[in-house]
Chain A
Amino acid sequence: MAAEQKIILKTEGLTKRYGGVHALEDADFELRDGEHVAVVGDNGAGKSTFVRQITGVEQPTAGNIYFDGQPVEFKNPIEARNHGIETVFQNLALADDLDVPSNLFLGREERYFNLGPFSFLNEKKMLAHTQEALRQTGIKIPDLKNKIRNMSGGQRQCVAISRAASFASKLIIMDEPTAALGVQETAQVENIIRGLKQRGIPLILISHNLRQVFDLVDRIWVFRRGRIVGAVDRDKTDGNEVVSLITGVKSTVSGGEAAFV
């Protein structure tokens, strides 16, 4: 079924070296339209490095990235965002002293007339959009005019995710979205992710939590020591195999499909 969908993101031989450190080596990755995949691996396996290359935070040493059928070279996260890729970074990238609508629209504020930096903000429109975005993602925040600083970790994460979800047209990437959250808050974030699946927005989820990964995604990509050791369909694998791949007990995927050594 997935094979019929067109490929939305593809990398070929993606490599990133920091001086002598080979953080990412020769990564061939594929994501199909509407597909939710997880990227798993131990600390230092190259997951975050991989995300930084495809979101334009860093530029790869070698290799190609194709997005929506076109070769792309993002010079910064803004270019990636303009292409319809939204990322929820581990450090959240929220401005603590601003309220929810201001954070949602940070860097792309609605304006009344264009007077350059001195354009007046259309706060009404931004507030209405924010309410709509939060409603769509099923997030309840009692006071949108409250500053982010005064919110719980879960609420902050929800704001970051709904920002990504409301602007992403083609792809959402989430780097450890529930790492710092409690049980209930994690459940809420997982619900948002399920909602995105229903809306058909493709997702790359970086996670350490295998239970969550098996719950949420269609396909799991395993990274180890800077290389992709394999991609497995969630339905055709189990926790043991994934753990073996992560730890290196097993070095290739048994099914033979998409096996990169």
Chain B
Amino acid sequence: MAELAQTAKKLSAEHNTAAEKRARRARPAEANVLIGLIVIALLFEILGWIFQGQSFLLNKERLSIMILQVSVVGIIAVGMTQVIITGGIDLSAGSVVGATAMIAMSFAQVSTYPRAVFPSMTDMPVIVPLAVGLGCGLLAGLINGSLIAYTKIPPFIATLGMMVTARGIAKWYTKGQPVSFPTDSYAAIGAGMTPVLIFILVAVLFQVILRYTVYGKHTYAIGSNEQAARMSGIKVETHLILVYVIAGLLAGLAGIVLSARGLTAQSGMGVMYELDAIAMAVIGGTSLSGGRGSIVGTTLGMLIFGVIISGFTFLRIDAYYQEMLKGVIIVGAVVLDVYRQRLRGRV
């Protein structure tokens, strides 16, 4: 009898947890991020009326500056999201931005500038610096991916090496001199709201790819259970290389956009961008332990990031505090991720 009662209890307990699970499934992680975004934006709106006597959100100029500021890092974050979903990390993104900016820009200089890096190769069609820049990103990604897939060293170490090396290349390339005076067609890549447009294109493309293609399915599978992925016939090594190559390409693209926008490339460009990109992905619900995340989430994470930075400027809070707060956001997002993991583990 006691046994029977116990079984009944167990059954009803099972029933309860099943119901809870259904309830949880009803709200995807992205919805929580969206709620977070709205809450934070409204908070700044209220603080704006109190301290500045004006609206934070109803200001077209402010919003477009905010989106412009984050969209370059957003391009990196799209690649970073995919890397993190496989359970990896790419610390080299910021340095690749710097190296790509320098190298791509050196092929985009105008002939009227007397101190061009390659005086014989000025006034090139825009496709040349674009191809060179993307090629640099691709190469960096290929090296990252091959190291991780074949030598089995942790992604953290492999990309840390690339981070230092690529920054070194950026500095060595012109012995620390900035590269400036791009052609008009190159400058157009970063002009006005074009960076935002590029981000949107990249984000939509990879949201579709991650959600609807075999590539996406395998990316999640590897991050979820690499052993299972391998047993199921997924070529894990090749796939990882592809993921890091895509991340490298996007970092390269970000470098091109950034240098085109600033009309100059400096070896210090993109420092710490990888951390911002990681933070955007994690705030957007991408799990650092792999298997979960989406570009939609990362985009929302990017907007949260932008709203906070722009909100601080709006409230005239010192830029040093912004820097400090960024650190807190990054750690906070990771703590949140760990907390979410633990919550799931308990069920």
| Residues of A participating in the B interface, judged by any CB pair closer than 8 Å | 77-78, 81, 89, 91-98, 102, 106-109, 111, 115, 117-121, 123, 142-143, 146-147, 149-150, 152, 182-183
Binding stretch for chain A, among B34-42, B149-157, B192-200, B209-217: B209-217
Complex Cα distance, B25 from A77, in Å, reads 34
Taking a contact as CB atoms under 8 Å apart, the answer to whether A150 and B234 are in contact is no
A93 to chain B, nearest CB (A): 4
Q: Tell which of B25, B213, B223, B234 has the most Cβ of chain A within 10 Å.
A: B213
Complex Cα distance, B347 from A152, in Å, reads 10
Q: Which residue of B lies closest to A79 (CB)?
A: B233
Identify the 6 closest CB pairs spanning chains A and B, nearest first: A107-B232, A107-B233, A97-B291, A95-B224, A106-B232, A97-B224
Taking a contact as CB atoms under 8 Å apart, the answer to whether B225 and A94 are in contact is yes
CB-CB under 8 A from A183, the residues of chain B are 7
Q: Is residue B32 contacting chain A, with contact meaning CB distance below 8 A?
A: no
Taking a contact as CB atoms under 8 Å apart, the answer to whether B214 and A111 are in contact is yes
Taking a contact as CB atoms under 8 Å apart, the answer to whether B227 and A106 are in contact is no
Taking a contact as CB atoms under 8 Å apart, the answer to whether A120 and B228 are in contact is no
Q: Which of A93, A111, A115, A119 contacts B228 (CB 8 A)?
A: A93
A74 to chain B, nearest CB (A): 13
Complex Cα distance, B292 from A183, in Å, reads 33
Taking a contact as CB atoms under 8 Å apart, the answer to whether B209 and A118 are in contact is yes
Q: Is residue B22 contacting chain A, with contact meaning CB distance below 8 A?
A: yes
Complex Cα distance, B25 from A149, in Å, reads 11
Taking a contact as CB atoms under 8 Å apart, the answer to whether B229 and A107 are in contact is yes
Taking a contact as CB atoms under 8 Å apart, the answer to whether A98 and B218 are in contact is no
How many of chain B's residues touch chain A, expressed as a range?
20 to 34
CB-CB under 8 A from B171, the residues of chain A are none
Taking a contact as CB atoms under 8 Å apart, the answer to whether A95 and B291 are in contact is yes
CB-CB under 8 A from B291, the residues of chain A are 95-97
Q: Which of B10, B209, B213, B229 contacts A106 (CB 8 A)?
A: B229
Complex Cα distance, B225 from A109, in Å, reads 17
Complex Cα distance, B22 from A146, in Å, reads 9
Complex Cα distance, B216 from A111, in Å, reads 13
Q: Which residue of A lies closest to B239 (CB)?
A: A117
Interface residues of B in 1-44 (CB under 8 A from A): 7, 10, 14, 18, 21-22, 24-25
With A77-B231, A106-B229 given, is the CB distance from A152 to B14 under 8 Å?
yes
Known: A94-B228, A95-B221, A117-B242. 7 other contacts (CB 8 A): A97-B220, A102-B217, A106-B217, A118-B209, A121-B214, A143-B25, A150-B24
CB-CB under 8 A from B214, the residues of chain A are 109, 111, 117-119, 121
Q: Which of A97, A119, A146 contacts B292 (CB 8 A)?
A: A97
Q: Which residue of A lies closest to B209 (CB)?
A: A118
Q: Which residue of B lies closest to A154 (CB)?
A: B14
With A94-B225, A97-B291, A98-B217 given, is the CB distance from A89 to B231 under 8 Å?
yes
Taking a contact as CB atoms under 8 Å apart, the answer to whether A117 and B215 are in contact is yes
Complex Cα distance, B232 from A93, in Å, reads 8
24 cross-chain CB contacts under 8 A: A93-B231, A94-B228, A95-B228, A95-B291, A96-B224, A97-B291, A97-B292, A98-B217, A102-B220, A106-B232, A106-B234, A108-B232, A109-B214, A109-B217, A111-B214, A115-B213, A118-B213, A118-B214, A120-B212, A120-B213, A143-B22, A143-B25, A146-B25, A183-B7
CB-CB under 8 A from B242, the residues of chain A are 117
Taking a contact as CB atoms under 8 Å apart, the answer to whether B223 and A97 are in contact is yes
CB-CB under 8 A from B218, the residues of chain A are 117
Taking a contact as CB atoms under 8 Å apart, the answer to whether B217 and A121 are in contact is yes
Q: Which residue of B lies closest to A55 (CB)?
A: B231
A4 to chain B, nearest CB (A): 35
Q: Tell which of A77, A95, A123 has the most Cβ of chain B within 10 Å.
A: A95
Complex Cα distance, B63 from A110, in Å, reads 43
Interface residues of B in 83-102 (CB under 8 A from A): none
Taking a contact as CB atoms under 8 Å apart, the answer to whether B215 and A106 are in contact is no
B208 to chain A, nearest CB (A): 9
Q: Is residue B344 contacting chain A, with contact meaning CB distance below 8 A?
A: yes
CB-CB under 8 A from A147, the residues of chain B are 25
Complex Cα distance, B230 from A89, in Å, reads 13
Q: Which of A78, A95, A121 contacts B225 (CB 8 A)?
A: A95
Taking a contact as CB atoms under 8 Å apart, the answer to whether A95 and B220 are in contact is yes
Taking a contact as CB atoms under 8 Å apart, the answer to whether A91 and B224 are in contact is no
Q: Which residue of A lies closest to B290 (CB)?
A: A97
Q: Tell which of A77, A92, A93, A115 has the most Cβ of chain B within 10 Å.
A: A93
A208 to chain B, nearest CB (A): 22
Question: Hey, what's the 0/1 contact readout for B269-296 against A, CB within 8 Å counting as 1?
Answer: 0000000000000000000000110000
B277 to chain A, nearest CB (A): 21
